[in-house]
């Protein structure tokens, strides 16, 4: 069990506390919102959204060990009733989704090519509600698109080598 835990810790790049705080400072209010935590890892961002009053948080993580970690964490914190955990690839989740969400937070592995896959999906379908937000956490050297279908960059924030780029609906 301890060996498993150290493997998980080596695979995960948790969002630093200062960046997590910044995400919620940027969003200001997540109460009664549907929040998607893509590439959820250990689920710290999504759990924080639940603690701050999100109506529902959907965690999407392809690593089954991390999904178990998230589910256990939600149970311990008595937050399971407002959460769904999907053990699947984030890109597949977005491709299969037919809903619009209030907030989508994505923290793909840095320089993995996942951002470009996400952009292609957002070019073809609208997954953000009017007034909604897409927040991407990414490495400083990764290039982003200024506009996506119905979305455009609202603001970028820098925390060392990490950037948070906020897209808002531009309709």
CA 93 to chain centre: 12
On whether the pTM is more than 0.85, the answer is: yes
Cβ burial 86-124 (10 Å sphere, 16+ → b, else e): bbebbbebbeebeeebbbbbbbbebeeebbebbbebbee
Residue 34 pairs with which residues in a beta bridge?
56
Pairing of strands 101-106, 128-139: parallel
3-class secondary structure, 15: coil
Q: What are the structural domains, with CATH classification, of the chain?
A: 2-169 (3.40.50.150)
Pairing of strands 83-86, 56-60: parallel
CA 45 to chain centre: 7
CB 56 within 8 A of CB 74: no
3-class secondary structure, 163: strand
CB 119 within 8 A of CB 94: no
Per-residue pLDDT of the chain (171 residues; tens, 9 = 90+): 444 433 444 456 677 778 888 899 899 999 999 999 999 999 999 999 999 999 999 999 999 999 999 999 999 999 999 999 999 999 999 999 999 999 999 999 988 889 999 999 999 999 999 989 999 999 888 878 888 888 999 999 998 888 999 999 865
Give the span between the Cα atoms of 55 and 11, in whole angstroms.
Answer: 29
CB 155 within 8 A of CB 164: no
């Amino acid at each position: 069990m301890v060996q498993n835990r150290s493997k998980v810790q080596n695979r995960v790049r948790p969002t630093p506390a200062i960046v997590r705080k910044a995400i919620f400072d940027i969003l200001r209010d997540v109460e009664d919102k549907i929040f998607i935590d893509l590439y959820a890892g250990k689920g710290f961002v999504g759990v924080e959204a639940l603690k701050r009053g999100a109506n529902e948080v959907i965690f999407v993580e392809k690593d089954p060990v991390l999904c178990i970690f998230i589910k256990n964490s939600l149970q311990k914190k008595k937050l399971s009733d407002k959460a769904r955990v999907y053990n699947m690839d984030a890109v597949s989740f977005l491709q299969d989704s037919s809903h619009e969400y209030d907030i989508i937070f994505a923290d793909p592995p840095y320089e993995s090519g996942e951002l470009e896959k996400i952009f292609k999906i957002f070019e073809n379908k609208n997954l953000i509600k009017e007034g909604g937000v897409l927040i991407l956490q990414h490495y400083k050297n990764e290039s982003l698109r200024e506009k996506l279908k119905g979305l455009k960059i609202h603001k970028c924030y820098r925390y060392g080598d990490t950037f948070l780029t906020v897209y808002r609906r531009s309709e």
